[in-house]
Structure 1
Amino acid sequence: MPSEIDQIQLSFSPDAALVLQAILAVVVFGVALELRLSDFRQLLREPRLVLIGLSSQLVALPLLTLLLVGIAKPAPSIALGLMLTAACPGGNMSNVLTHWAGGRTSLSMAMTTISSLVAPASTPMIFGVLGSLHPVTRDAMRDVAVPYSELVGTIVLALVIPLFVGMMLAERRPALAARMRQPLKRFGLVVFFAFVVLAVAANHAIFWQALTGIFVLVLIHNALALATGFSVATLLRTGTAERRAITFETGIHNTALGLTLIFTYFQNLGGMALVVAWWGIWHLITGGLLARYWARRPGHSSG
């Protein structure tokens, strides 16, 4: 990976970054309208499953990401992109993929929700710890002066508040939430992806120039994430349905949040955006293929 990639600066205005944060909040709110507190009551009697899944996602994967970066020795901005992806909470597509694959959807939804709610603490902490443990990324982070307090505020505004408000509305006004759910979710997703496409188009020369260099690293990192979830769940003897949910939760990340943070705070490290943007595409491809494979092989739940 050429070192020039660390010098890439994205063409993205501060006002556009604020719009992106607002769009992400709309997307999260739309998804939260599908959640009910009752969905999690059964899992409260099985905290072991949630702890296994969160340990795989928030502990095992970040440590293995650090190992991968140490072995591959990519450019600092590429390494930071991998680290930020590992630090992001689970993505909502993991719920859909788990359902398609015959996994335990309630466990997947609980893990996504919990990892999102703790993201204001976990994402900056994991990213900061990983970045400081690797000598090359430590220097890069010092150069950009990562604004951790601002990161926390952005995650709360774009992720936690809309998630909480959406869940409360779904619980107290289910009929209204049902009418809003599909139109709002579709609108938010279409607008978000259109916005990201426009951002990529504004920097298309940069993205295409570096894509081949990051393709293999993202492929390996995503495979490592899926394998981590599967292996942790297998070693701790969960049921087949639970294993599938934990695999997708560890292998599917909220790259929309990652891109929002990068476009807001790390425009001088454009290599990070290249990694997270391609991760966001690639994990849907691998996740979809894996879900299709598992859908043909019925699973069973341990609970």
Structure 2
Amino acid sequence: MYEQLLALDHVRINFSSSGSHVLNIILAFIMFGVALGIKPKAFADTFQQPKALLAGLFSQIILLPALTFLIIILFHKILTPTVAMGMILVAACPGGNISNFMSSLAKAKIELSVTMTAFSTIGALITTPFNFAFWGGMYINYMAKRSADLLQPIVIDPFQMFFTVVILLGIPLVAGLLFTHFFPALSRKITPWMQRFSIFAFLAMIVIAFMGNFDIFLKYIFFIFIIVLVHNFLALGTGFAVGTVFNTTHAERRTLTIETGIQNSGLGLALLLNPKIFPQDLALGGMLIVTAWWGIWHIISGLSIAGYWHRRPLKNKAVKEEA
């Protein structure tokens, strides 16, 4: 398996500057849609009982990257450095833009979902560069002591990553919040459509990024499928476990599960395709394919779980607690 994954590193994506701009515009449009769903009242309601919010942020921002690092170390003999770094990058990204729609479908606590998405996205201006640099650095140091000959030199500029995240996330978020403030009625009308459109927009990002490389993508998808399946299951399980340990309501537990399991891998893809952060001479095919497939798979797994919970009523204890 290691040899097959190693072959992924040589996947090259010949991306023009105009193609990169298209990706950035798509991501900015998606984040604008996320901002439309952020309502001040949701913050106020969640802050009155902040336990679930703090538990969710702990699960997503701290625990998921740490557990990702541990599982990579556990299976380091079959994971190539670029595949491992791709997993770390995904874990460092904020919550996915479609998690609010999935939480609504799952009969979860939508106010908590919106607040977690907002906090993790705004916090990503700092947490994404920090978590990737910290856990990626830990992994590189670990591998350098054991198999330096197999380690690809992956060095990025954290300040450039921070600047890029501010442009990709910060500006669209502010624009969306201002739009909702000045045009509240129009914002309410277009928000549901924006959330649905974001799914297709992300899939368009995948197609644009891998156009001309689908033969290689399909050749090695089985191995990537297993890795992402395990990683995504870890993320979903982490959210559910944290909700259980913190004794949250069942609706909140569903929210924590979805929010931790749905990552904004579109941001990861945009960062990977930015030559100012990841120079084009680096062989990072493993990172690209892991990040891209994560974005597809978490839609499948998230909708599956949300659909399952949609058909199952909340337990009486949770209903009473929420009343």
**SS of the residue aligned with 1:67?**
helix
Q: 1:136 matched to which residue of 2?
A: 143
Q: 2:272 and 2:111 mapped to 1: Cα distance?
A: 31
Q: 2:68 matched to which residue of 1?
A: 65
Q: 1:157 matched to which residue of 2?
A: 167
- Residues 1:171 and 2:181 are matched in the alignment: yes
Q: 2:126 matched to which residue of 1?
A: 121
Q: 1:285 matched to which residue of 2?
A: 300
Q: Which amino acid aligns with 1:90?
A: G
Q: 1:87 matched to which residue of 2?
A: 92
Contact between 1:85 and 1:276, CA under 8 Å: does it hold in 2?
yes
Question: CA offsets per residue over residues 58-92 of structure 1, 9 Å max, x none?
Answer: 11111110111011110011001100111100012
Contact between 1:36 and 1:171, CA under 8 Å: does it hold in 2?
no
Q: 1:146 matched to which residue of 2?
A: 156
Q: Residues 237 and 59 (structure 1 numbering): CA distance in 2 closer, same or farther, change over 3 Å?
A: same
Q: Residues 184 and 214 (structure 1 numbering): CA distance in 2 closer, same or farther, change over 3 Å?
A: closer
- Residues 1:226 and 2:231 are matched in the alignment: no
- Residues 1:295 and 2:310 are matched in the alignment: yes
Contact between 2:98 and 2:195, CA under 8 Å: does it hold in 1?
no
Q: 2:189 and 2:74 mapped to 1: Cα distance?
A: 50
Q: 2:173 and 2:151 mapped to 1: Cα distance?
A: 30
Q: 1:87 and 1:165 mapped to 2: Cα distance?
A: 24
Contact between 1:78 and 1:272, CA under 8 Å: does it hold in 2?
yes
Q: 2:226 matched to which residue of 1?
A: 216
Q: Which amino acid aligns with 1:202?
A: G
Q: 2:98 and 2:67 mapped to 1: Cα distance?
A: 23
- Quote how far apart the aligned CAs of 1:133 are: 1.1
TM-score (norm 1): 0.92
Contact between 1:61 and 1:225, CA under 8 Å: does it hold in 2?
yes
Q: Which amino acid aligns with 1:158?
A: L
Runs of 4 or more off by more than 6 Å in structure 1? 137-142
Q: 1:10 matched to which residue of 2?
A: 13
Q: Residues 142 and 187 (structure 1 numbering): CA distance in 2 closer, same or farther, change over 3 Å?
A: same
- Quote how far apart the aligned CAs of 1:30 are: 2.3
- RMSD over aligned CA atoms reads 2.2
- Residues 1:52 and 2:59 are matched in the alignment: no
Q: Residues 237 and 192 (structure 1 numbering): CA distance in 2 closer, same or farther, change over 3 Å?
A: closer
Q: 1:37 matched to which residue of 2?
A: 40
- Quote how far apart the aligned CAs of 1:197 are: 0.8
Contact between 2:97 and 2:195, CA under 8 Å: does it hold in 1?
no
**Equivalent in 237, 240, 244 of residue 250 of structure 2:** 240
Gaps in structure 1 of 5+ consecutive residues? none
Q: 2:13 and 2:178 mapped to 1: Cα distance?
A: 37
Q: 1:202 and 1:76 mapped to 2: Cα distance?
A: 24
Q: Which amino acid aligns with 1:296?
A: R
Q: Which amino acid aligns with 2:128?
A: T
Q: 2:33 and 2:68 mapped to 1: Cα distance?
A: 31
TM-score (norm 2): 0.87
Q: Which amino acid aligns with 1:115?
A: S
Q: 2:225 and 2:266 mapped to 1: Cα distance?
A: 19
- Quote how far apart the aligned CAs of 1:248 are: 0.4
Contact between 1:210 and 1:274, CA under 8 Å: does it hold in 2?
no
**Equivalent in 17, 22, 40 of residue 19 of structure 1:** 22
Q: 1:256 and 1:28 mapped to 2: Cα distance?
A: 10
- Residues 1:101 and 2:137 are matched in the alignment: no
Q: 2:198 and 2:302 mapped to 1: Cα distance?
A: 22
**SS of the residue aligned with 2:239?**
helix
Which stretch has the larger CA shift, 11-20 or 274-283?
Answer: 11-20
Q: 1:76 and 1:10 mapped to 2: Cα distance?
A: 19
